[in-house]
A and B are shown apart, each in its own frame.
Chain A
Amino acid sequence: MQLVVLTGFLGSGKTTALLSFARELSSTGAKVAIIVNEIGDVGIDNLLLKQLGANMWELLGGCICCTLVADLGTTLSKIAADYAPDYVFLEPSGASNPGRIPDALIYSKDLQLTRISWLAIVDPLRLDELVSVLEPLMESHLRVADIAVITKKDEATPEQIDAARKWIASLRPEIPCIAVDMKSEGGRASLRELLPCLN
């Protein structure tokens, strides 16, 4: 069982990316489970995923980096035992500090993960504004990443995409970085090209 963690600030496009990846992998016959964490006790993404019939588990009313850290561990164990998926996609709340997520795994009894992949989702439209007021949090999403995905390519200017690439490269020059419009077939094709990176 592989764990794929999508990090990124609130509203950066994590759920849309997660859905694209999950659909692509499901179409190849892989069993995919999704864990959604929302900071409020009423979730929204979980309602969408339920509507779409996803195999989804919810962690609501806190962050998996702090108040729900034990719940994440036990949820992973339960998913492994009850569903035995090939992939578990985890979408932490956009307010989470992802660097603390590995601590949750100590609560997963006998969990055998073949790999943990980390994708950082970056919104180029608000990057300047958010880095100026929440720099430590914004950087924390990127510090753990294996791959950076710049979203909203259709809405951003070339300058905004370039600035996002430079910011990513300044912190993590060694990781691959792609810019996508996830609403277009071209963007979804770009995400498909990333799938081998998860294996």
Chain B
Amino acid sequence: MSQLTLDPFAAKVYWHREGDGPDEIWPELTRTFIESIAKKVQSHKAVIGHIKGFASSGDHALRVNCVSATRPADVEGNLPPATPEMMLDMVVLAYGLAWDDAKSAVETAIEEAGKVHNCHGRLQASRHGHSHTHDHQ
């Protein structure tokens, strides 16, 4: 029996639109972004626990959950139409994924999702989490 460590990666991603695009861009951008992260996490042979995010503006909120690289991310809600910016709070919880690898995966996913949806994202990562180790088979 060995051990798997969970090293949480928490961040804020500040997105803003570049040029014109559909009014309701944020759910699709968020889906592209989070699913891209999931694929990168899986490529590290890590076990995805939960990749999730939340953004809000006034009474509007957008929530995303992803637990697998092979199933679509679940995106609920939206921000008000034509909102030019979105601040997404997010965490990547994956067993066997080092914090630096998580950060790299998120940075690359920001670039990829930004290109697809004509947006720019700026990452502000936080490294004060608590790692957790569990026995595994």
By a CB distance below 8 angstroms, the chain B residues around A42 are 10-12, 89, 91, 126
Which of A44, A61, A123 is the one whose CB lies under 8 Å from B67?
A123
Contact A10 B50 (CB under 8 A): yes
Interface mask (B52-80 → A, CB under 8 Å = 1, otherwise 0) = 11101000010101111001000000000
Which of B56, B68, B130, B135 is the one whose CB lies under 8 Å from A47?
B56
Which of B49, B54, B90 is the one whose CB lies under 8 Å from A48?
B54
Q: Is A67 an interface residue when CB atoms closer than 8 A count as contact?
A: yes
Q: Is A134 an interface residue when CB atoms closer than 8 A count as contact?
A: yes
Residue from A11, A44, A129 with most neighbouring chain B CB atoms (10 Å): A44
Q: Is A198 an interface residue when CB atoms closer than 8 A count as contact?
A: no
Contact B93 A10 (CB under 8 A): yes
**Chain B residues within 8 Å of chain A by Cβ, number:** 36
Contact A61 B95 (CB under 8 A): no
By a CB distance below 8 angstroms, the chain A residues around B8 are 39-41
Interface mask (A121-138 → B, CB under 8 Å = 1, otherwise 0) = 001011001101111110
A123 to B68, CA, bound (A): 12
By a CB distance below 8 angstroms, the chain A residues around B10 are 40-42
Residues 1-27 of B at the A interface (beta carbon under 8 Å) = 4, 6, 8-12
Contact B68 A48 (CB under 8 A): no
Contact A39 B129 (CB under 8 A): yes
By a CB distance below 8 angstroms, the chain B residues around A39 are 6, 8, 93, 129-130, 132
Residue from A42, A126, A132 with most neighbouring chain B CB atoms (10 Å): A42
A132 to B137, CA, bound (A): 7
Which of B11, B50, B90, B128 is the one whose CB lies under 8 Å from A94?
B50
**Closest Cβ of chain A: how far from B13's Cβ, in Å?**
12
A185 to B19, CA, bound (A): 41
Q: Is B123 an interface residue when CB atoms closer than 8 A count as contact?
A: no
Q: Is B47 an interface residue when CB atoms closer than 8 A count as contact?
A: yes
Q: Is A27 an interface residue when CB atoms closer than 8 A count as contact?
A: no
Given contacts A126-B67, A126-B68, A134-B134, contact A44 B54 (CB under 8 A): yes
By a CB distance below 8 angstroms, the chain A residues around B134 are 95, 134, 136-137
Which of B's residues lie within 8 Å of A, judged by CB? 4, 6, 8-12, 47-50, 52-54, 56, 61, 63, 65-68, 71, 89-91, 93, 95, 126, 128-130, 132, 134-137
- A-B contact list, 16 entries, CB within 8 Å: A9-B49, A10-B50, A11-B50, A40-B9, A40-B129, A41-B8, A41-B128, A41-B129, A42-B12, A42-B91, A44-B53, A48-B61, A63-B130, A94-B93, A133-B47, A136-B134
Q: What would 13 more interface pairs be, CB under 8 Å, given A129-B47, A130-B47?
A: A10-B50, A38-B91, A40-B93, A40-B126, A41-B8, A41-B10, A51-B56, A62-B130, A95-B6, A126-B67, A133-B95, A134-B4, A134-B136
